[in-house]
């Protein structure tokens, strides 16, 4: 048997194994949003804050879906060089939340 035929045999065997696998029973998804801003106001507006301000915002979302159970967690942080209104927080959705059978995204 040639090496090309041997390679195709491996490829077809792998595809057959993929076709025999069971469907996934759970799904894990995540997203991260990171925003950074350098500079804030022109020097001609000193009453509005530091002209060379740095600020960073980060939000991490993680969701787990299994059957009709949806659980999620979120971490948010907001920091700036003026040390004003900074925060960091963690929140989680309750486990056992029922997922609606139909979802209408973007509707009023």
What are the sequence ranges of the domains in the chain?
Answer: 24-98
Rg (CA), the chain: 25
Q: Which of 89, 77, 85, 84 is nearest to 35 (CA)?
A: 77
**Chain segment 29-65, per-residue pLDDT in tens:** 899 999 998 876 666 776 776 777 788 999 999 988 8
Residue found by looking up tokens 């469907």 in the block: 23
Q: Which segment of 24-28, 53-57, 84-88 scores lowest on mean pLDDT? A: 24-28
Q: What is the pTM of this model?
A: 0.55
């Amino acid at each position: 048997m040639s090496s090309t035929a041997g390679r195709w045999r491996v490829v077809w065997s792998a595809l057959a194994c993929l076709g025999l696998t069971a469907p996934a029973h759970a799904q894990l998804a995540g997203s991260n949003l990171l925003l950074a801003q350098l500079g804030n106001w022109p020097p001609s507006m000193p009453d509005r804050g530091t002209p060379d301000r740095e600020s960073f915002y980060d939000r991490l979302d993680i969701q787990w879906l299994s059957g009709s159970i949806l659980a999620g967690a979120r971490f948010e942080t907001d920091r700036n060089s003026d040390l004003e209104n900074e925060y960091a927080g963690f929140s989680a959705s309750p486990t056992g939340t029922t997922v609606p059978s139909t979802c209408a995204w973007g509707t009023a």
